[in-house]
Structure 1
Amino acid sequence: MNTLKYLLILFLLSLSIGCTGETKTTSEQSISRSYLEEKGYRISSKDGQVESYELTEQKLSVLPYMMYWGLQRVNPSDYIGKTIHIQKFTVTNHPLSKDKVDVFVYLADGQPIGGTSFPYGDTTDGGYWSIEGKNLEDIQGMSYQEWRKSWTEKYKSTSPDEA
């Protein structure tokens, strides 16, 4: 009988732990959805969380993260040491394309801080755009070469592979 009690407690505990993580993901999706709708985008699908990582100076010093963060209007240094969650959506009514656009919303501490966008299904172009469809030069106000030099001086890689 005691074994049955322990199994029941263990089962109920595992259910509550599972629900807690799901609630956080649902909450982040809801916040991301509102963020995109405020920008005037119409959401056609949501893929949920596609990546989660701790932002470090080393991560900021390597592609593609240096490009992703160069497209943000926030200062990446303010988010070093924080966990970044990325939610993916497909939207329409986006300035990047008349058709569908894949949008990635970056969240820190449960709040949207920016993101990136790409024409729907585009995995080979190599172009990078902000969540508003702007390029790096639009966001940074300088040429790519000037930005890259400044960025690499600020976020030097500590990896021996990057030397």
Structure 2
Amino acid sequence: MGQEDPNKVFTVQGKSVQHVKISSDSTECSIAAICVLPDRQVLVADNNTENVKLLDQQNQVSSHWSVTGRPVGMLEITPSEVAVTVNDAPKIHEVQFITVKNMQLVIGRKLQLQHTCTVHMVAVSPTGERLYITNLSINKLLTLAKDGSVLASFADPSLKALHGVHVTPAG
């Protein structure tokens, strides 16, 4: 495999609008996070309706799971499992693990926290050696080693409400 260009510019090839509202949704949907698993299954975290939704190949909701609060972020853990950060002030601050099995969502363990999740989004380098983290409360992008030590910190006045981070195959 060839070396990826770390300075490659991405361009938008197209866009589309998908409707993910289900019959039990009493409010308008607000997608806080999207995760595409290696087998191309798409999960969306719906902040307003407090649901994680699994979309089929036609982008229709095939399964959903009501989480215990407002989902704010989602990250692939394994090829069939995601971690969903849930914040619902003042009481619910947790990470919920959800597995996709036979086109259904299965709830797994929950990691309950005693504090608000200030980490909003996380991306992992291709080697697994670095974590790239957006921190909403201080408007910074942090780069951490696997042991949690800070390798780099980036802040800029224009970085407000950092809601996403992505790592290319080049790292």
Whether TM exceeds 0.5 here: the answer is: no
TM-score normalised by the chain length of structure 1: 0.24
Which structure has more helix as a fraction of its residues?
1
Which structure has more strand as a fraction of its residues?
2
Greater length-normalized contact order (CA 8 Å, ≥ 6 residues apart)? 1
Q: Whose radius of gyration is greater, 1 or 2?
A: 1
TM-score normalised by the chain length of structure 2: 0.23
